[in-house]
Amino acid sequence: MCWRKVGVLALLAMAMAFVHADYFVAEACSWGFGILFVLLFFVGKAQNRKIADKWLEEAEPVLRTQFSYTGSSVENGMGLLEESRSNFKYFCTGRRFLTRFVADLETIDVGLHGEDVDPFILGICKKLGFTALSKIFPELIETAKQVPVKEVPESMWVSTDCTEIPKAALTHSIQAVIIFYLKGVDFFNVSSHNFLEYIVITDMNKQLIIGMPRTQKHVLRVRFKLQVGSKKLDVPKALQLVFALVDGAGATIKLSPNAKHSAIKRRLKIKQAAEALASAQEDTGSLNDRLIADFLLGQGYLESAKIIEETKDVGHLVDHELHSECQAVLKDLQAHHTDKAIAWCSQNGSRLRRLQSSLEFHLRLQDFIEFVRAHKPLEAVQHARTYLTPLAMQPEKQSLRDAAIGEVQIAMATLAFESPEKCGIEAYEKVFAMDRWLTLEKMFRKAFNDVYGMHDPPSLCIALHAGLSTLNTRACHLTRDTNLKARLAQSGARGKRQRREGEEAGDDNGDSEDESEEWFKSLTASEKDDSANSKKRKYSRAELPVPICPACSEVGSQLCTGLPFAYHPHSRLVCRVTQSVMDEHNPPLVLPNGRVYSKRGIELLTQRSSDGTIKCVDTQDVFSPTDVKPVYIL
């Protein structure tokens, strides 16, 4: 692009008439740049054509065997079309489940028969490139969700709107090719590179593809990185991956009736929302519903979360099945059983080893302790030989191995005592303490979050703390202290009054009905006062009510504990009368009672009064316009 601009400037300079001798050097340089541009243009065009022909030479044998007909503007050849000097595409047709095959040097786009393919979305891409990919395929965020798939490396995201899809789509042959291109090393230990960027199969593509009909919506797109060092893409193997995906999408990926109905229902709802141009408030509401449902799932309230998922239709945005599995294992541990936890460790053994987790070791150690507690020494020794010793030697770090071996030695030493939990040695009694089960629950929850990439604390807490940290100020801190002291004083006074009234009621039962009625009225009045105070905050120097912020509320004050104060290097004052920001064009003015309003607000208050005075909207005090003074903020 840079050389193209230089060439255009050079040609313009060559077209100018240089009649003065001082312009000879400029004219010579312009001619030189022009000639260089022309040479680079034709040389680059020839090189690009050479690269395209070489790509075609490698791909043509495979394409001819895979397609029964090839449409082309070139007679007796594959569909090579030159869109520009640096952009070439290949067009093929005539395969089952396929309407159009469009390939260039990086991307392969395939149109699929809509009536032959169930509505589904499957995306596989690098984690770092998911944001960029979601701009091309917005449905990866709108409809699909990220799911863990064992067959795909952890550096990649798998997004789908149905958990049945990865199991049906990722056959063994497709897994082999994907791993070949992702990990950089094939099964024969031949060095390679991670050419593959992403794979997307969708029926909701919103961006048109050059060379494909406008009505085409079922699209399979695979993108490769061709220029990776000195290595070349294995074109036949890449095409075989695409063909396998085409056949799999058309023939094997068939959803169950319930999953298909759910997918169609969600798509219809998304389409209606798009046509109705849903407001940003509704989008925020769905996000809040998802965060709340995810928080309830993490805390173990599965039934409450299920109600939100069904009423707010956010079930496809949360991992209900994963959390159900987690809660089942936690309940099993609370019942002092390790069977389900050990089974979960077996299913996720590879990821736990990569995370250097010691969860399985401690579960097996707990089984050993239970054997000793039940006075079964032979079973305990056999269990230690089978599980404890191999698991203790498994960590790569020497410090972790030493710690595990030390725990095994302490556990084995308990076999020498008849009742180790009452032997009087603290190290052995600690091993048999029942609070070890609580430790196992915490270890499992941490390992579960690490394996599936879940947040701890939950996303809802992170969002709340992030929002409150922008509002939390030192004034809020002082207000919270003042409100806390006021609530304590009110509760103490109310308690004394209730006790005094109770004693008087015991002395005179005849007036108990009247006194109970008076007590009820006073209690109701105090509750109203508390309710009003919860909606207003009071400064310590002047008991003047002002609207609160979330950080000053009773609930928000508890969440703000430990949060840093917000960084506000520049103050922004908002007038309570006009609701506009005060600046140099609308400067702030202060009344004698300390209330600050903007200049326009003061003028508006003056116009409202009949005698030209200013009535404060907060304190209802009346002042003369001459009492107003300007405010300067440093």
Last residue of a domain, which of 519, 541, 569? 569
599: CATH:
3.30.40.10
Residue 281 counted as domain residue = no
Is there a single domain that holds both residue 335 and residue 430? yes
Dist. CA 31–CA 37, nearest whole Å: 10
| Residue 139 maps to a domain | yes
Q: Are residues 236 and 100 in the same domain?
A: yes
Domain that holds residue 16: 2-61
* Average pLDDT rounded to a whole number, residues 316-332: 89
* 535: CB partners within 8 A, 6+ apart: 548
Q: Assess whether 431 and 465 both reside in one domain.
A: no
Round to whole Å and give the CA distance between 488 and 492: 6
Check whether residue 237 and residue 332 sit in a common domain. no
Question: In the structure, how many helices (H) and strands (E) does the chain have?
Answer: 24, 16
Both 562 and 465 in one domain: the answer is: yes
Please give the pLDDT value at position 459.
86
C-alpha 95/C-alpha 363 separation (Å) is 54
| Distance set, CA 442 to CA 294, 329, 332, 368 (Å) | 19, 12, 13, 20
In-domain check, residue 103: yes
The residue with tokens 């095994």 is 408
pTM for this model (two decimals): 0.45
Each residue's pLDDT tens digit, 373-419: 888 889 999 999 999 888 888 888 888 888 889 888 888 888 887 77
Identify whether residues 579 and 469 lie together within a single domain: no
Residue 579 lies in a domain: yes
For residues 317-337, one letter each, b for 16 or more C-beta atoms within 10 angstroms of the residue's C-beta and e for the rest, the string is bbbbebbebbbebbebbeeeb
| One domain, residues 564 and 576 | no
Going by pLDDT thresholds of 50, 70 and 90, the confidence category of residue 337 is very high
Least confident stretch, 305-314, 442-451, 553-562: 553-562
Residue 83 lies in a domain: no
Of 408, 430, 448, the domain-final residue: 448
Q: Out of 292-306, 334-348, 501-515, 615-629, pick the least confident.
A: 501-515
Contacts of 447 (CB under 8 A, 6+ apart): 352, 355, 357, 359
628: confidence class by pLDDT, cuts 50, 70, 90: very high
pLDDT at 446: 92
The one-letter amino acid at 612? G
**Mutual orientation of helices 2-15 and 24-66 as an angle, nearest 10°?**
140
- 588 in any annotated domain: yes
pLDDT at 506: 54
Closest CA to 404 of 390, 392, 414, 417: 392
Q: Are 381 and 484 in the same domain?
A: no
Q: Would the pLDDT of 330 be above 90?
A: yes
Does residue 55 belong to any structural domain of this protein? yes
404, 427, 448 - which closes a domain: 448
**Using CA atoms, how far apart are residues 632 and 634, in angstroms rounded to an integer?**
7
C-alpha 349/C-alpha 356 separation (Å) is: 10
Q: Angle at CA 150, nearest 5°, toward 147 and 153?
A: 90
pLDDT at 516: 44
Tell me the average pLDDT across 563-573.
Answer: 79
Average pLDDT over residues 223-251: 68
Q: Are residues 166 and 234 in the same domain?
A: yes
- Looking at the structure, do residues 146 and 254 belong to the same domain, yes or no? yes
- At 87 the pLDDT is 60
613-622 contacts at long range (C-beta below 8 A, 24 or more positions apart): 616/591, 617/576, 617/577, 618/544, 618/545, 618/546, 618/576, 619/544, 619/593, 619/595, 621/591, 621/592, 621/593
pLDDT band at residue 523 using 50, 70 and 90 as cut-offs: very low
| Domains contained in the chain, number | 5
What is the CB neighbour count within 10 angstroms for residue 31?
13
pLDDT of residue 537: 37
Q: Does 476 share its domain with 532?
A: yes
* Dihedral pair phi/psi, residue 604, rounded to 5°: -65, -40
Summarize pLDDT for 57-99 with one digit per residue, the tens: 777 777 777 775 544 444 434 455 555 555 666 666 666 677 7
Looking at the fold, whether 26 and 166 belong to one and the same domain comes out as no
pLDDT by residue (tens digit) across 531-562? 444 333 333 333 444 445 788 777 777 788 88
In a domain, 507, yes or no: no
Q: Is the pLDDT of residue 16 over 80?
A: no
Q: What is the mean pLDDT of the chain?
A: 74
Per the structure block, which two tokens stand in for 231?
């290595």
Q: Which helix (H) or strand (E) holds 79?
A: strand 79-84
What pLDDT score does 228 carry?
A: 46
Measure the CA–CA gap between 283 and 422, rounded to whole angstroms. 60
For residue range 46-62, list pLDDT tens digits in order: 777 777 777 777 777 77
